[in-house]
Amino acid sequence: MNIKGFGFPVRWVAIWTVTFGITLSSSFPARAADHIVKIVSDYENLRMVFEPKYLKIEPGDQVVWVNEANEEHNVMTFPDGFPEGASAFQSPIMTKAGERFSHRFEVAGTYEYHCLPHLPMGMHGLIVVGQPSEHDEFHKPTTAEIEAYRKLMLEWFDEDDTEMLEREDRAAAPDS
């Protein structure tokens, strides 16, 4: 049977369509996914958390963090909390509900991140892109990166707070 006006047998058109369709669809990469992480200020339970705290994604995927309350939050990697060959990321301070920050993850590995203003409350999260990083595959921060991170921390927590915590740690330590 021929398709009217073209002179091609129907079975050849079907074979050509299936073959071309498979070739065409396999030549395009899978579409990257978007993932949402909520930045939650849980006043009732006195917690600040990322939901979900752990996320498994694929290279090329994007994560969008959404501030759920009118509370100061940010999202940033630890200085040594991302794979070698990847870049650190840091959002601006978000203060209003609905504010967003996004980051596209191109390099496979493990990313450890936190909210600096609420780090003492344990506000941190983990993203694994593809396969997790091995111990020796994490970024090794330079002295300048460590100094910059310390400076950021001191913007939120002054040296008096740090000295007080150190004194409390020494007081709680057993006598040697």
Q: Using a pLDDT cut of 70, give the percent of the chain over it.
A: 73
Residues 87 and 160 in one domain: no
Residues 70 and 103 in one domain: yes
Residues 46 and 127 in one domain: yes
Question: What is the pLDDT at residue 159?
Answer: 61
Question: What's the CA gap between 74 and 101, in Å, rounded?
Answer: 9
Residues 93 and 106 in one domain: yes
Q: What are phi and psi of 170, to 5 degrees?
A: -65, -40
Residues 57 and 103 in one domain: yes
Question: What's the CA gap between 75 and 123, in Å, rounded?
Answer: 10
Residues 133 and 149 in one domain: no
Residues 115 and 82 in one domain: yes
Q: How many domains does the chain have?
A: 3
Question: What is the pLDDT at residue 22?
Answer: 41
* pLDDT exceeds cutoff 50 at 25: no
Question: What's the CA gap between 159 and 115, in Å, rounded?
Answer: 19
Residues 15 and 92 in one domain: no
Residues 125 and 156 in one domain: no
Question: What is the pLDDT at residue 31?
Answer: 78
Question: What's the CA gap between 38 and 14, in Å, rounded?
Answer: 48
134: confidence class by pLDDT, cuts 50, 70, 90: very high
The pTM of this model reads 0.74
Mean residue pLDDT of the chain comes to 84
* pLDDT exceeds cutoff 70 at 138: yes
* Mean local confidence (pLDDT), 63-87: 97
165: confidence class by pLDDT, cuts 50, 70, 90: low
* Mean local confidence (pLDDT), 83-103: 97
Q: Which domain holds residue 63?
A: 34-138
Residues 166 and 115 in one domain: no
Residues 20 and 80 in one domain: no
